[in-house]
């Protein structure tokens, strides 16, 4: 009995050695664009016939952050509104204006995006030539025809923020 016990302990102690193996952790970085909606905007109503997201008019600028993992793989294309997606019934035309600007960057070189931007109609394009994060804000204003007061109610317009692979 004692003999068997001795052998059992010996065998178990051999088995008790930890199994050692190298476990690899692998990963890859691929082109990826993430659009973060940092802040949705709000219209101020500085005069009866106008809605504006400009802070001086009581509005709030919508802010979007683009994160790109690989340089020179994407274009940021941001379209300011030219129509309300919902509003009270309007009987006259609306004059729309808008613009999009770089407001903050994670890499100093991205400040050049603002000078290099191209505007086609109501769409502003930025070539995202560096990896990192860029913040954009879009100003939008709508003025009711013939300076009429806008009817009371809720007005909503949509900013289209696109990240397009090159």
Partner 1 sequence: MLVTFGASAHEMTPAYPEVKPSHVKNVVKVEMSFFNSREEIRYYQIDLFDLNWMNIPFSTTYRIMQVDYKEHKSFDVYIRKKDMPEAVYLCTTSKVRRTNQSSTLISSRICSRLDGEPA
Starting at the earlier edge strand, list the strands of the sheet with 118-120. 74-79, 123-128, 118-120
Q: Are 133 and 125 in contact (CB under 8 A)?
A: no
Instruction: Indicate left, alpha or beta for 28 from its phi (over 0: left) and psi (-120 to 50: alpha).
Output: beta
Cα gap 137→94, rounded to integer Å: 22
Taking the least distance from each CB to partner 1, the nearer of 34 and 147 is 34
Tokens 């664009």 locate to: 33
Taking the least distance from each CB to partner 1, the nearer of 103 and 155 is 155
Taking the least distance from each CB to partner 1, the nearer of 53 and 134 is 53
Taking the least distance from each CB to partner 1, the nearer of 110 and 157 is 157
Q: Which letter does DSSP use for residue 60 in this model?
A: B
Question: At 67, is the secondary structure helix, strand, or coil?
Answer: strand
Cα gap 122→138, rounded to integer Å: 11
Which residues make Cβ contacts (< 8 Å) with residue 118, sequence separation at least 6? 124, 125
Q: What's the min distance (Å) between Cβ of 66 and partner 1?
A: 10
Q: What's the min distance (Å) between Cβ of 104 and partner 1?
A: 16
Taking the least distance from each CB to partner 1, the nearer of 10 and 48 is 48
Binding site for partner 1 (CB under 8 A): 30-43, 45, 51, 53, 60, 62, 64, 67, 70, 72-74, 81, 85-86, 138, 140, 154-166
Q: What's the min distance (Å) between Cβ of 1 and partner 1?
A: 59
Q: What's the min distance (Å) between Cβ of 112 and partner 1?
A: 20
Q: What's the min distance (Å) between Cβ of 40 and partner 1?
A: 5
């Amino acid at each position: 009995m004692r003999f068997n016990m001795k052998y059992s302990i010996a065998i178990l102690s051999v088995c008790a050695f930890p199994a050692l193996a190298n476990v690899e952790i692998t990963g890859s970085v691929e082109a990826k664009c993430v659009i973060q909606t940092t802040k949705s905007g709000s219209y101020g109503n500085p005069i009866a016939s106008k809605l504006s997201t400009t802070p001086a008019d009581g509005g709030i600028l919508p802010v979007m952050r683009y994160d790109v993992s690989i340089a020179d793989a994407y274009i940021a294309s941001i379209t300011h509104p030219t129509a309300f997606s919902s509003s009270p019934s309007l009987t006259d035309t609306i004059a729309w204006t808008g613009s999009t600007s770089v407001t903050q960057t994670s890499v100093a070189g991205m400040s050049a995006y603002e000078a290099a931007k191209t505007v086609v109609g109501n769409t502003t394009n930025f070539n995202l030539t560096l990896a990192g994060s860029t913040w954009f804000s879009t100003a939008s204003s709508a003025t009711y025809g013939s300076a009429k007061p806008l009817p009371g109610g809720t007005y909503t317009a949509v900013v289209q923020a696109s990240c397009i692979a090159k």
